[in-house]
Amino acid sequence: MTDIQAGLPASGIVPETAEERVSYLRAGHSLRSWLLTTDHKRIAILYLIAITAFFFIGGAAAALIRLDLLTPQGDLLSNEGYNRAFTIHGVIMVWFFLIPSIPTTFGNFLIPLMIGARDLAFPRLNLLSWYIYVLGGLVTIYVLVTGGVDTGWTFYTPLSSMFANGHVVAAAAAVFIVGFSSILTGLNFIVTVHTLRAPGMGWGRLPLFVWSHYATSLVLVLATPVLAVTLALMAAERLFGIGIFDPALGGDPLLYQHLFWFYSHPAVYIMILPAMGVVSELVAAAAHKPVFGYWFVAFSSLAIAVIGFLVWGHHMFVAGQSMYASAVFSFLSIAVAVPSAIKVYNWTATLYKGHISLEPPFLFAMSFIGLFVIGGLTGLMLALLAVDVHVHDTTFVIAHFHYIMVGGTVSAFFGALHYWWPKFTGRTYSRIWGRLSAIFIFLGFNLTFFPQFLLGYLGMPRRYHVYDPAFQVLHVLSTAGASLLGVAYVLPFAYLLYSLRHGAPAGPNPWPATGLEWTVPSPPPKHNFDRIPVVTEAPYAYPVERRGDDG
């Protein structure tokens, strides 16, 4: 970006560059060459399109919820309508945007490039995973169009299996299907990182982006099947009356919650770990300096993946779980925050004595760090037993997980989009608009969710659309924030798509940054590397810019 000082890209249509003519984008123009591709880069683009569509559908449901909560009686939607709106918002955002967002787009595109491979270990499985995702998506659209489901994204029994009257089994089938898409992606990444690293690319030379995706893949592969069998048993109980969790038969509704949260808490680490990988790359590139404490940051990804499996009980402190088990889960939930603390402090230490540039992706990275810290700490507060008794299932919890998922993962997703867009498309975008959208997203987000911390502690229950009139001011603030956030999210797609035609050519290394993906032309050719590179130095080996930098 250093050579293009102008905020706006060169005006008028920019003709196709030499790299673009031979790049993966031009390797076949027919729809068939896109829909039957096994090139990991094209599959990443297919995923990017699909998850963006679901991001806006889920966002629309969120807009409905926020508008309905403008008034204490909830005049926009009926009770039933509100229940279905937050359920479809949850189902689509969790399984069709947050979980696949960074791994299936940036993971698919960049992991082979970063480790010096021509493609993932199983290219055909990669395409199959996209088709399974689309199939799951279509079933969800069917559920949405024909009336939705009113159980919440958690599908708790006995409500989901015996009392709910929406399309519970179809929604469970959609999630069951899309689960296998994540399993295939996780499996592909694990085998690729183990078997396809370039010569010299030892585990100590892997970019932290790859480390975090490796840890995410372990969680994807080990947790998702438990969700599949739990939803299958719930659907069997609803469809055929095969009572597994049925309290009338002496079944334990808490058993469903144990199985569900055994998946669903690791699932939140599936959502945040790739974002942490992105931020490690962005912070290193922003500071033009190696990440502080490489091994600590790398192993903290693995630690989060492993300890993440031991903490699910903190969702059930007030659910009737034994107080001894709750104490154990509370302690382990505090332990799982330690690796995240290491990452945050190490990122901050990376900025020390760096050469910091405030390009749009690096603004997103810093807003990630700020918002993730608030989300993480309120998570620690929720892990404290007595506090959780008060704020469980209130909007305090809503604010907590939105600070991590929207403040964290979505900011990192947009940061990654702005950082690797020149590599994906070979074009640069307007840096002024990039910075504006980062700032608007940060402001809109805080205005939307900080009031919900206050509402939560005041006792505003979650999933309520009728509330005490005294809370109305905070709800109006939150809805105002949501409308600003909604507009801010549309901005990037405007100027990024504009850059496809009018953006100036980006060249192989616009930032400039280290990493094998920056050594190939932008957009990269179909076979990635003419010759598989031999890696000789540690990652993030930024050149010393000034004499004496290294003392």
Partner 1 sequence: MNGFIPLWPDAASAHAGQVDQLVIAFTVLMVALTAPVFVLIVVFAVRYRRGKAANRTHRVNRSVWLETSWAAIPFLLTLFFFVWAAWLYFDLHRPPADAMEIDVVAKRWMWKFQHPEGQREIDDLHVPAGRPVKLTMTSEDVIHSLFVPALRVKQDVLPGRYTTLWFDADRPGSYPLECTQFCGTDHSLMHGRLVVMAGQDYARWLAGTQGGDTLAAEGRALFRSLGCSGCHGPGATVHAPKLEGLYGRPVPLQDGSTVTADEQYIRDSILEPNSRIAAGYPPIMPTFRNLVDEGEVQQLVAYIKSLATQPAEPTP
Partner 2 sequence: MWSALRPLLLTWAGLLALLALTIAVSFAPIGPVKPVANMAIAVVKAGLVLWVFMHLRERGGLLRIFALGAVAWLVILMAMAATDILTR
Partner 3 sequence: MAERLKLREPFADPAHQAAADRMGMFVFLGTEVMLFGGILAVALADRIRHPEAMIAASSRLDLWLGGINTAVLLTSSLAMAIAVAAMHQDRPRVALGALSATVALGLAFLGLKALEYGQDYADGLMPALAPPAEPTDPAQALFLNLYLAATALHAVHLTIGIGLVLWLASRIARRPEEQAMTTELTGLYWHFVDIVWVFLYPVLYLVR
Interface of this chain with partner 2, residues 50 to 79, rule: CB under 8 A: none
Strand, helix or coil at 505? Answer: strand
Binding to partner 1 (CB under 8 A) within 353-372 occurs at 353-358, 366, 369-370
Residue closer to partner 1 (CB basis): 142 or 464: 464
Q: Which stretch binds partner 2 (CB under 8 A): 313-321, 345-353, 367-375, 432-440?
A: 313-321
Q: Tokens standing for 478? A: 């939150």
195: partner contacted, choices partner 3, partner 2, partner 1, none (Cβ within 5-8 A by kind): partner 3
Does residue 144 contact residue 60 with C-beta atoms inside 8 Å? no
328 binds, among partner 3, partner 2, partner 1, none (CB under 5 to 8 A by kind): partner 2
153-192 binders of partner 3 (CB under 8 A): 183, 187-188, 190-191
Q: Kindly state the number of chain residues that form the binding site for partner 3, as judged by CB under 8 A.
A: 44
Nearer residue to partner 1 within complex by CB, 13 or 323: 323
Helix (H) or strand (E) holding 279: helix 253-287
Out of 70, 134, 228, 349, name the contact with partner 3 by CB under 8 A.
228
Say whether residue 186 binds partner 2 (CB under 8 A): no
Q: Which amino acid belongs to residue 432?
A: I
* Cβ distance to partner 3 smaller for residue 160 or 346: 160
188 vs 437 by CB, closer to partner 2:
188
- Site membership for partner 1, residue 151 (CB under 8 A): yes
Query: Shortest distance, CB of residue 233 to partner 2, whole angstroms?
Result: 14
Q: Report the distance separating Cα 482 and Cα 487, nearest Å.
A: 9
Question: Counting beta carbons within 10 angstroms of the beta carbon of residue 73, is it exposed (0 to 12), middle (13 to 18) or buried (19 or more)?
Answer: exposed
Task: Figure out which of the listed residues 56, 122, 156, 542 binds partner 3, where binding follows CB under 8 A.
Answer: 122
> How many CB atoms sit inside 10 A of residue 10's CB?
13
CA gap 479, 64 in Å, rounded:
10
Q: Quick check: 320 binds partner 2 (CB under 8 A)?
A: yes
349, 292 Cβ separation under 8 angstroms: yes
**CA–CA dist 240, 248 (Å, integer):** 16
Considering only the stretches 3-11, 150-158, 249-257, 534-542, report the one whose residues sit in contact with partner 3 under the rule CB under 8 A: 249-257
Tokens of 69: 């909560």
Whether residue 508 is preceded by a cis peptide bond, meaning omega within 30 degrees of 0, is: no
By C-alpha distance, which of 205, 90, 209, 198 is closest to 152?
90
Shortest distance, position 436 Cβ to partner 1, whole Å: 18
Q: Helix axis angle, 40-68 relative to 108-115, nearest 10°?
A: 140
Looking at 117-125, 472-480, 483-491, 538-546, which segment touches partner 3 (CB under 8 A)? 117-125
Give yes or no for residue 530 binding partner 3 (CB under 8 A).
no
Adjacent-strand bridge partners of 525: 23
Contact between 293 and partner 1 by CB under 8 A: the answer reads: yes
d(CA 419, CA 248): 55
Residue 335 binds to partner 2 (criterion: CB under 8 A):
no
Angle at 438 between CA 288 and CA 521, to 5 degrees: 50
Scan residues 478-507 and list those touching partner 3 (CB under 8 A). none
241 part of the interface to partner 3, by CB under 8 A: yes
- Contact pick of 152, 243, 525, 533 for partner 3 (by CB under 8 A): 243
Q: Which does 138 bind (CB under 5 to 8 A by kind): partner 1, partner 3, partner 2, none?
A: none
Sign of the alpha-carbon dihedral angle for 427, 491, 8, 417: negative
| Helix (H/G/I), strand (E/B), else coil: 100 | helix
- Would you give the end-to-end CA distance of the chain in angstroms? 28
Residue 123 contact, options partner 1, partner 2, partner 3, none, Cβ 5-8 Å cut-off depending on partner type? partner 3
Binder among 89, 258, 315, 392 for partner 2 (CB under 8 A): 258
119 binds, among partner 1, partner 3, partner 2, none (CB under 5 to 8 A by kind): partner 3
Per DSSP, which regions of 57-114 are E strands? none
Q: Using CB under 8 A, which residues numbered 20 to 49 contact partner 1? A: none
Q: Which does 27 bind (CB under 5 to 8 A by kind): partner 2, partner 1, partner 3, none?
A: none
310 binds, among partner 3, partner 1, partner 2, none (CB under 5 to 8 A by kind): partner 2
Please report how many Cα atoms fall inside a 13 Å half-sphere around the Cα of residue 381, on the Cβ side.
18
Name the one range near partner 1 by CB under 8 A: 110-118, 223-231, 312-320, 512-520: 312-320
Query: From residue 394, how far is each of 179, 387, 457 by CA, in Å?
Result: 28, 12, 8
Q: Would you mind telling me the total number of residues written for the chain in this entry? A: 551
Please state, as a whole number, how many other Cβ atoms lie within 10 Å of the Cβ of residue 380: 16
Least distance from C-beta 412 to partner 1, angstroms? 16
- Measure Cα distances from 255 to 224, 242, 261, 283, 319 in Å: 17, 15, 10, 42, 11
Q: How far is CA 488 from CA 170, 313, 443, 517, in A?
A: 33, 36, 9, 29
- Interface residue with partner 1, options 390, 487, 497, 534 (CB under 8 A): 390
21 phi and psi angles, rounded to 5 deg: -60, -35
Residues 11-40 that bind partner 2 (CB under 8 A): none
Q: Which one of 35, 131, 194, 239 is in contact with partner 2 (CB under 8 A)?
A: 194
Q: Verify binding: residue 196, partner 3, rule CB under 8 A.
A: yes
Q: Is there a contact between 276 and 346 (Cβ–Cβ < 8 Å)?
A: no
Residue closer to partner 2 (CB basis): 109 or 260: 260
Site string for partner 2, 213-242 (x = CB under 8 A): ---------x---x----------------
Residues engaged in binding partner 3 (CB under 8 A): 38, 112, 117-123, 125, 183, 187-188, 190-191, 194-196, 221-226, 228-230, 232-233, 236, 240-244, 246, 248-252, 255, 258-259
